Amino acid sequence: MTEITCKLLVIGAGPGGYVCAIRAGQLGIDTVIVESTKLGGSCLNVGCIPSKAMIHVAEEFEKAAEAAAGKTPFGLTAAEPKLDLKQAVAWKDGIVQRLNNGVAGLLRKAKVKIVHGKARFRDGKTVVVETETGPKTIQAEAIVIATGSAPVELPFLPFGGNVISSTGALALTEVPKRLVVVGGGYIGLELGTAFAKLGAKVSVVEAQDKILPLYDAELTGPISKRLTALGVEVLLGAKALGPTPKGDGLRIETADGKERSLPADRILVTVGRKPVTDGLGLENLVLDMDGRFIRIGERCETAMRGIYAIGDVTGEPMLAHRAMAQGEMVAEIVAGLPRAWDKRGIAAICFTDPEIVSVGLSPDEAKRAGHELKIGQFPFAANGRAMTRHGEAGFVRVVAQAGSELVLGIQAVGQGVSELSAAFGLAIEMGATLQDIAGTIHAHPTLGEAFPEAAMKALGHALHI
In whole angstroms, how far apart are CA 161 and each of 176, 189, 267? 13, 22, 9
Which residue in 141, 107, 132 sits closest to 25, CA to CA? 107
User: Which segments within 279-383 are labelled E, that is strand?
Assistant: 289-290, 293-294, 307-309, 347-350, 355-360, 373-379
* Active-site position among 321, 442, 444, 461: 444
How many residues are present in the chain? Answer: 465
The closest of 447, 457, 465 to 397, measured between CA atoms, is 457
Report the run of H or E that residue 55 belongs to, with start and end.
helix 48-68
- Whether 371 is a known active-site residue: answer no
Residues near 305 by Cβ (< 8 Å), separated by ≥ 6? 124
How far is the C-alpha of 31 from the C-alpha of 302, rounded, in Å?
20
Gap between the Cα atoms of 379 and 90, Å rounded? 39
Residues 6+ apart with CB under 8 A from 262: 180, 203, 205, 249, 250, 251, 252
Q: Do residues 302 and 294 make contact, with C-beta atoms less than 8 angstroms apart?
A: yes
Report how far apart, in Å, the C-alpha atoms of 140 and of each of 65, 121, 147, 287, 326 are. 56, 11, 17, 18, 19
SS3 57: helix
Q: Cβ of 72: how many Cβ atoms within 10 Å?
A: 13
| Torsion angles phi and psi, residue 190, rounded to 5 | -60, -50
| Pick from 151, 104, 152, 119: nearest CA to 36 | 119
Dihedral angle over CA of 146, 150, 152, 157, nearest 10: -160
How far apart are the C-alpha atoms of 300 and 306, rounded to whole Å?
A: 11
CB 41 within 8 A of CB 13: yes
Q: Which residues, other chains included, contact 200 with Cβ-Cβ below 8 Å and sequence gap of 6+?
A: 175, 176, 177, 178, 179
Catalytic annotation, residues? 444
